[in-house]
Amino acid sequence: MKKQWIVLTLAVVSALLYVGCKKTQPQSETAVPADSAKTQPSDVIKLTYANFPPAPTFPCVQMERWKTEVEKRTHGKVAVQTVPGGSLLDAKEMMDGVISGQADIGCLCMAYQPGRFMVTNAAALPLGIPSAKVGSQALWDLYSKYQPKEFADVKVLTMFTSAPANIMSKKPVRTLADIKGMDLRASGEAAQILKAWGANQVGMPMSSTPEALQKGVVQGLFSSVEVMKDFKFAELCKYITMTETNIYPFAVVMNQKKWNALPDDVKTVFEELAVEQCLWTGEYMDNHVQESIDWAKTEQKVEVIELSAEEKAQWNALLESNVDEWIKQAKAAGLPAEDIVDDLKASIATFSLK
- Angle (deg, nearest 10), helices 264-300 and 132-146: 150
**55 and 146 fall within a common domain:** yes
pLDDT recorded at residue 38: 57
pLDDT recorded at residue 39: 58
Torsion, Cα 166 170 171 176, to 10 degrees, reads -30
**207 and 139 fall within a common domain:** no
Tally of domains within the chain? 2
Residue 103 lies in a domain: yes
**311 and 184 fall within a common domain:** yes
pLDDT recorded at residue 101: 98
**311 and 228 fall within a common domain:** yes
**115 and 187 fall within a common domain:** no
pLDDT recorded at residue 5: 40
Domain with 329 in it: what CATH number?
Answer: 3.40.190.170
**232 and 152 fall within a common domain:** no
**109 and 184 fall within a common domain:** no
pLDDT recorded at residue 40: 64
Residue 98 lies in a domain: yes
**107 and 233 fall within a common domain:** no
Q: Rg of the chain over CA atoms, in angstroms?
A: 28
Q: What are the E-state strand segments in 145-269?
A: 154-161, 166-169, 183-185, 200-202, 220-223, 239-242, 249-255
Model confidence, pTM: 0.84
**230 and 337 fall within a common domain:** no
pLDDT recorded at residue 11: 43
What's the CA gap between 66 and 55, in Å, rounded? 14
List the domain range (segments joined by +) for residue 114. 39-161+248-292+322-352
Helical spans, DSSP H, in the chain:
2-24, 58-73, 94-100, 132-146, 176-179, 190-197, 209-215, 227-230, 256-261, 264-300, 309-317, 320-332, 337-352
**183 and 44 fall within a common domain:** no
* Sign of torsion over alpha carbons 108, 112, 116, 120: positive
Cα–Cα separations (whole angstroms), residue 127 to 75, 211, 253, 324, 339 = 42, 32, 26, 12, 14
Residue 12 lies in a domain: no
Q: Encode pLDDT of 210-257 as tens digits.
A: 999 999 999 999 999 999 998 899 999 999 999 999 999 999 999 999
The tens place of each residue's pLDDT in the chain, 354 residues long, gives 444 443 334 443 344 334 343 433 433 333 323 343 455 666 899 999 999 999 999 999 999 999 999 999 999 999 999 999 999 999 999 999 999 999 999 999 998 888 899 999 999 999 999 999 999 999 999 999 999 999 999 999 999 999 999 999 999 999 999 999 999 999 888 899 999 999 999 988 887 899 999 999 999 999 999 999 988 999 999 999 999 999 999 999 999 999 999 999 999 999 999 999 999 999 999 999 999 999 999 999 999 999 999 999 999 999 999 999 999 999 999 999 999 999 999 999 999 997
Q: Encode pLDDT of 82-139 as tens digits.
A: 999 999 999 999 999 999 999 999 999 998 888 899 999 999 999 999 999 999 999 9
pLDDT recorded at residue 187: 84
